Structure 1
Amino acid sequence: MLTKKQVQVFDFIKTYRSKNDYAPSLEEIRRKFKLASVSTSHYYISKLQNAGFLNKEHNQPRAVSTVEAKQTVEIPILGAIAAGQPIEAIEIPDETITITRDEIGKQGKHYALRVQGSSMIDEGIFDGDIVVIRKQEVAENGQTVVAVIDDNQATLKKLYRENGKFRLQPANPTLFPIYRDEVEVRGVVVKIIRNLESQLDQGQSRDEKYVRK
């Protein structure tokens, strides 16, 4: 997943390459975005390479190339999902995140939700994280799912079938499972995007943690 500034740098490199057949220099990137030094330009290049958006071409000047557009995908964030007490299921896309197709696989349709609560911490899903969901109506025992119960209440839990009922199991030993006769599955978790303050780009505000389109 890219930050807002990383998307801007990536778009600049992609546009520059389409016009010139080679990538901009670190100094050109620095001037374009008024960065403090070329080392900051290198920082953004490294982030984009690590995220799979740039390829490094060895033994060539200005040796980076953009990954083909078909390998990246924008995923809509449809709201929040409770990792705790169920909340009303709302699907109103207001943002997108940009990730590589390799991160989520090539099959199926996907959407993303912000996590609220701490019921899934033992699965490495924390309050404020974003989970990417593959849309599907069935799930295997033990998969982490978006489950809708009762009066359109959505929750993020591990799903189990036992004794003719469904058990929605939190991954937090201090919380109790939820049992229901009927559960509507709206997808399974395929990727977790961590919300780490310590990994924010230098000079980035708290409101720019996720890509906004």
Structure 2
Amino acid sequence: MELTDKQREFYEYLRRCRQDDGNLPSLRRAAGELGVSHTAVAQLLAQLEKKGMVRREGRYSRTIRLLPGAAVRSSGSAGREVPVLGRITAGLPMSAQQEWDGSVVVDGDLFGGDELFCLRVSGASMRDAGILDGDLVICEPRHYAEQGEIVVALIHHEEATVKRFFRRADTIELRPENPDYPAQHYGLAEVLVQGRVVGVVRGMHPIFSRAG
């Protein structure tokens, strides 16, 4: 999808508003915060709607929906929208959450592959790998891991964590990247790999890492 710079900036503004307070702004609020006319905002919305990026319910309705799965292309860079699926821990394991929690737009040239997803990190155990509390990790789905890769792992079918993966003779080691946290060891049947971490988003800016 080709967007002009103004259209992309406006789309990113709408996305930030949704992330910050869970709601999209009224036309009046958007015009005031962006320093443009009410008419300019309406025109931008109409353009984004025509390109399949948003949907309005009624011509003058305040209800605006960002359409999940919309791809963005601007200034020669191919973008893709990646869903955020709940939260994951980089400390002790926590109960897995699979609810949809918005999305982020990342550079499709850097983050390829099918069915990418994001998880928000809670905790500091992967600090030395550049994964901080509050970051989003970008993951590619996978049910296996190579030695030393950073993965999303499901423990006992219900607790999720992000760690480096090492397979031993009869155990799985999930190793943190912070000396304040101990490595965790589980039986082979107790750990299910859900995906490999391929990047990090911090402050809505992707950090390309291909971790692992």
TM-score, normalised via structure 1 length:
0.61
> What residue number does 2:80 align with?
73
CA distance in 2, matches of 1:86, 1:80: 11
CA distance in 2, matches of 1:125, 1:90: 19
For the residue of structure 2 that corresponds to 1:102, the secondary structure is coil
CA offsets, 1:132-157, max 9 Å, x none? Answer: 11011111111110101125100010
> What residue number does 2:74 align with?
54
In structure 2, the gaps of 5 or more residues are 1-5, 14-30, 37-71, 206-212
Deviation at 1:122, TM superposition (A): 0.6
CA distance in 1, matches of 2:123, 2:7: 28
Deviation at 1:9, TM superposition (A): 3.0
Deviation at 1:53, TM superposition (A): 5.2
> What residue number does 2:40 align with?
none
> What residue number does 1:186 align with?
194
Deviation at 1:101, TM superposition (A): 0.9
CA distance in 1, matches of 2:139, 2:163: 13
CA distance in 2, matches of 1:121, 1:92: 25
Deviation at 1:82, TM superposition (A): 0.2
Letter in 2 for 1:133: C
Letter in 2 for 1:91: Q
Contact kept? 2:90, 2:124, Cα under 8 Å: yes
Name the Cα RMSD after superposition: 2.9
Correspondences of 1:192-203 after superposition (within 5 Å): 192-195=200-203
- Counterpart pick for 1:95 among 102, 111, 115: 102
In structure 1, the gaps of 5 or more residues are 13-29, 36-51, 56-65, 200-213
CA distance in 2, matches of 1:11, 1:90: 26
TM-score, normalised via structure 2 length:
0.61
Q: How many residues align?
A: 146
Correspondences of 1:162-181 after superposition (within 5 Å): 162-181=168-187
